[in-house]
Amino acid sequence: MSDLFINTRSAYNETRQSHWDGIARKNFFESFFSREYHHRLKEIYRHFISPGLVVLEIGCARGDLLASVAPSLGVGIDFSAEMVALARQRHPHLKFIQADAHDLRLDQQFDIIILSDLINDVWDVQAIFEQIRPLCKADTRIILNFHSRVYQPALTLAGKLGLAQNLLSQNWLTPADTENLLHLAGFEVIRSQREIIFTFPLAGIRNFFNKFLIKLWPFQSLAWANVLIARPAPIQTDQQPSVSVIIPARNEAGNIEPAFQRIPKMGSHTELIFIEGHSRDATYATIEQAIKNHPEWDAKLFSQPGQGKADAVRLGFEKASGTVLMILDADLTVRPEELPRFYQALVSGKGEFINGVRLVYPMQEQAMRFLNLLGNKFFSMAFSWLLGQSIKDTLCGTKVLSKQHYERIVANRAYFGEFDPFGDYDLIFGAAKQNLKIIDMPIRYQDRTYGSTNIDRWRHGLLLFRMLAIAAFRLKFI
């Protein structure tokens, strides 16, 4: 690295250190504009970050945002000595370090790394992203926000009028610029959205603008802030984790033996966990006999205590010993031979929640009724918009995720409540709330060869609309 480059960066940093030291010495005066802006940022970050995680914030200023997400361990870094002193005074239960983000020397990894209003103000954004890469675990999430260039003139004027902090020259990156720099540093973006269009202390109007209108076209173009969530790009490994295949079975006696014959063995070990759901046929006895007939399988049978597929799946996951959790409906309309594709997508790191999709390949003639098909297409478009990730089929029974991520979903289930008799939306919403990378896995959907569907199109369709409303007010309009 040339002396000229070092001196230039050094001078750049010294100017900014002096600038932020001066602001801190004024006890970080905030105008109503700044207070409203930072109030909304705290709401956004609290939505994305569950309490009790290990969190690092780079460019933490006085530490208020870091404190607001209630970390079990919170570490804040800022290059302004005065800001660090103010942060320690305000939040003594957190740890604050004076350091340059271009030269981080930490020896631990974090669940969440925050860069709030930082990247527009630093010398080398890519270098900072490269500095945080070693601080990441496989499932670490990077969350960053930065001002939209649309408001460059307004922010400059507000600073001169004392309505906001006076800004030095900025980088003014676009979301596309930032996503490219993240990619160069070894990250991939999971979600990108725009936030905040009203920054005046009028609570009702503020919430209407910032929680509802901002989510709709054309108001998104008026947003003050861009928010991106990224994860470390997956690294290929030779690990072969164990697998638990959960098979809810109600009135499926004729499909049990084919399941034993057709399910492939995956990973270091595969177990089958059948959850029988108060069948009117001989499903329970058939599974018992099939387990005796197939000693080559590690298979278990449980009778669910409650009602509905969600109850069955939860019991199956509770009894599972595998690292990878799979759901396979006992009707076998999703071919068991497809399961290794789900497994490879998960263990390769391409996705963290693998969602089966029945709507890509042509279906067999009786596999799905026409009105059900229309309903599925509608819900897929609605939920893709609400979740910020593509969900082409919300009710395919086959879903795959790690046990570790499932446990995180369970720990935060109270956020949504007990609303889903199927279990599909409980898992999808939970995965979205935990910022998991959701991947659609197209499969060929088959006709049933035994029995009939347990879904009531109209009664369950109304439930789906209710769940759509829950998603809107828990995941989108927050």
Sheet hosting strand 324-327, strand order edge to edge: 298-303, 270-276, 243-249, 324-327, 399-402, 353-357, 438-442
Does some domain include residue 237? no
Q: Residue 3 pLDDT > 60, yes or no? A: no
Within this chain, do residues 225 and 299 fall inside the same structural domain, yes or no? no
Residue 262 pLDDT level (bands cut at 50, 70, 90): very high
Q: Is the domain of 257 the same as that of 227?
A: no
Contacts of 30 (CB under 8 A, 6+ apart): 38
Q: Which residue has the higher pLDDT, 34 or 56?
A: 56
Question: Region 101-115: what's the mean pLDDT?
Answer: 95
CA–CA distances in Å: residue 227 to residues 121, 174, 288, 297: 16, 11, 52, 48
For residue 475, pLDDT over 60 is answered with: yes
pLDDT at 43: 96
User: Residues 295, 257: one domain?
Assistant: yes
Looking at the fold, whether 347 and 405 belong to one and the same domain comes out as yes
Q: Which of 162-166, 237-241, 438-442, 474-478 has the lowest mean pLDDT?
A: 162-166
Range of lowest pLDDT (18-32, 138-152, 244-258, 341-355):
18-32
Burial class (CB in 10 A: 0-12, 13-18, 19+), 274: buried
Q: Which amino acid is at 409?
A: I
If asked whether residues 255 and 198 sit together in one domain, one would say no
The residue among 468 and 141 whose pLDDT is bigger is: 141
User: Which one of 207, 232, 257 terminates a domain?
Assistant: 232
pLDDT over 70 percentage in the chain: 90
Confidence check: pLDDT of 458 > 70: no
> Is the pLDDT confidence value at 6 over 70?
no
* Per-residue tokens: 16: 């900014």
Q: Which of 36-40, 415-419, 426-430 has the weakest average pLDDT?
A: 415-419
- pLDDT tens for 8-24 read 888 888 888 898 898 88
pLDDT attached to residue 456: 55
Q: Which region among 66-75, 369-378, 460-469 has the lowest average model confidence (pLDDT)?
A: 369-378
Banded pLDDT at 372 (limits 50, 70, 90): low
Q: Which residues span the domain enclosing 139?
A: 3-232
Statement to judge: residues 97 and 43 lie in one domain: yes
What CATH number does the domain containing 85 carry?
A: 3.40.50.150
Q: How confident is the model at residue 378 (pLDDT cuts 50, 70, 90)?
A: confident
Does residue 73 register a pLDDT over 80?
A: yes
On whether residue 137 sits in a domain, the answer given is yes
**More reliable by pLDDT, 142 or 359:** 142
pLDDT in tens, 337-358: 999 999 999 999 999 999 999 8
pLDDT at 275: 97
Same domain, 294 and 399: yes
Question: Could you tell me which residue, 472 or 141, shows the higher pLDDT?
Answer: 141
CA distance 421 to 370: 23
User: Pick the residue with more confidence: 384 or 410?
Assistant: 410
pLDDT value at 371 more than 70? no
pLDDT at position 107, please? 93
pLDDT at 160 over 90: no
Q: What is the mean pLDDT of the chain?
A: 89
For 161-216, what is each residue's pLDDT tens digit? 766 667 778 888 999 999 999 999 999 999 999 999 987 878 889 899 999 999 99
The verdict on 222 and 255 lying in the same domain is no
Does a structural domain hold residue 238?
no
CATH number at residue 287: 3.90.550.10
Residues 218 and 317 in one domain: no
> 367 and 434, same structural domain?
yes
Per the structure, how many domains does the chain have? 2
Which pLDDT score, from 0 to 100, does residue 4 have? 53
Q: Which residue has the tokens 């263990």?
A: 347
Q: Return d(Cα 403, Cα 399) in angstroms, integer.
A: 12
